[in-house]
Amino acid sequence: MELIDYLHTHFLTRAQLLAACATDGAHLDAVTAAGAMPAPSYRLHVRIDCASYFGDHTETHAQDWFAKGYVEWLRMLLDGSQDPYTLFAARYRAALAALPLFGMEATDAHLRSEWQHFIAGTYGLCTRSGLPEDIAAKELAIHVIRTLTDDGRVLDADERERLARARELLDRASSPFAPHERARSSRARYGLK
């Protein structure tokens, strides 16, 4: 039940997302099929076996779970805003420019790759909001951490401070991760709790 508690705390069901955006499943399915809306970050398939006075009963259910930040994204799509990829790229670049760290360039190839992960629902799983601002923060933090630590050298005081700031940024942008994923998460990989 820890996974279900985690999902209820950090994500929205399909029905909750639709209600928050005052829309229906057909609209969500259309923008998802068009490659403008991220897929759910989790898909839960549940089998329920029930025993009662009246006998045994079995049923199955499937439930999609979406990042809470996707309410904002879906509303934007429903309002008919500009091209979703263009907006994603602009928000990502603006977030990078506003962050207190530097060292990563948002090339077109990089942004296209990030967009694909965004649309697949990956960043809904591994960032707090699933939105371009948290994605940019997470990726920049990881880039800085790797740059400073991959060669195993001893860091000077300025580099240690930069590393601490990168870890703080990663902590703020990263999700807490589902119980079964924590050991393989970026939090575990880069020394966060």
For the stretch 112-138, pLDDT in tens is 999 999 999 999 999 999 999 999 999
Quote the pLDDT of residue 124: 95
158: pLDDT strictly greater than 90: yes
Query: What pTM was estimated for this model as a whole?
Result: 0.91
Q: What is the pLDDT of residues 18-66, one digit of tens each?
A: 999 999 999 999 999 999 999 999 999 999 999 999 999 999 999 999 9
Quote the pLDDT of residue 191: 76
pLDDT band per the 50, 70, 90 thresholds, residue 164: very high
Mean pLDDT of the 130-154 span? 94
CB 41 within 8 A of CB 67: yes
Quote the pLDDT of residue 190: 84
Quote the pLDDT of residue 68: 97
Quote the pLDDT of residue 93: 96
**What tokens appear for 80 in the block?**
């008919």
Q: What is the pLDDT of residues 78-124, one digit of tens each?
A: 998 779 999 999 999 999 999 988 888 889 999 999 999 999 999 99
> What is the spatial distance between Cα 129 and Cα 133, in angstroms, rounded to a whole number?
8
Mean pLDDT of the 1-30 span? 95
152: pLDDT strictly greater than 80: yes
